Amino acid sequence: NFLKLNKKKLNAPDVKVVVAFYKFFEVPNTFVLKHSLKLIFNKTEIKGTILIAKEGVNGTIAGKKDEITVALEKLWCLDLLIDLEPEYSLANKNPFFRMKIRLKKEIVTIGLPEVSPNKIIGNYVKPENWNDLISDKNLLLIDTRNSYEVSIGSFENALNPNINNFREFPDWVTENLINKDPEIKNKKVAMFCTGGIRCEKSTSYLKSLGFEKVYHLEGGILKYLEKIPKNESKWNGSCFVFDYR
């Protein structure tokens, strides 16, 4: 569907398809998965970064339409990634310089490897239901992205933690939520990020601290902007894409 909708744009010689994806799952052998991915990408001109950890996989890749199509078909043939749900965009040139597949302790770094959505997680909220949720005046809405990303766009009434990277999020929660409001864990909290991975990890973190009513935007801002008409959108500004992982 994405290729069909952007058929004219894809005719331009330098246009690249950018694919962002992640999946939290227990990886039985990270070395085996890394080898499988290398076999898919080694002989292509696709560039990007894919991170592999015991908690899952997280990547953003870019390349020509035909190569991206073949690569995704091969990814979906892997049993562990058969249900992978990528998000797509276009770029006038490849935003990456080479292809990197790396083993890490976490696929999105919060600095607490024991915190994992595979163990505990908040409630998913589909983009179609997000507006109703954030209209609740008693809701605490938190943008989990970095300061630069927030500065160019966010949801109405969202709280900006003013962090430089996601690793700073736990300290911000302690200093600005828990220490300032002893009853904060009983309040309804919703979080969001660009593609869904950071807010998924952040809900896992809050749940591990004892927060009860925790929600996050399924598919992130990108999916919201794709699904919600502009006249109904509560998003203000732009959404910066390439540094959120």
140: its two tokens: 């605490």
The burial of 50, by beta-carbon neighbours within 10 Å (0-12 exposed, 13-18 middle, 19 or more buried), is given as: buried
Residue 68 main-chain phi, psi, to 5 deg = -60, -40
User: Which residue among 77, 193, 199, 239 is the active-site one?
Assistant: 193
Q: Which two tokens stand for residue 86?
A: 């990528």
Nearest Cα to Cα of residue 170 among 108, 111, 106, 244: 111
What would you report as the CA-atom Rg of the chain, rounded to the nearest whole angstrom? 18
d(C-alpha 29, C-alpha 98), whole Å: 25
Tokens 């983009």: give the residue: 127
Burial track 126-147 (b if 16+ CB lie within 10 A, e otherwise): ebeebbebbeeeebbbbbbbbe
Helix (H) or strand (E) holding 169: helix 169-173
Asked if 122 contacts 110 with a C-beta cutoff of 8 angstroms, the reply is no
Active site residue 193: yes
Smallest Cα–Cα separation from 244: which of 59, 120, 112, 118? 59
Rounded to an integer, what distance in angstroms lies between the CA atom of residue 128 and that of residue 132?
9
Tell me the catalytic residues: 193
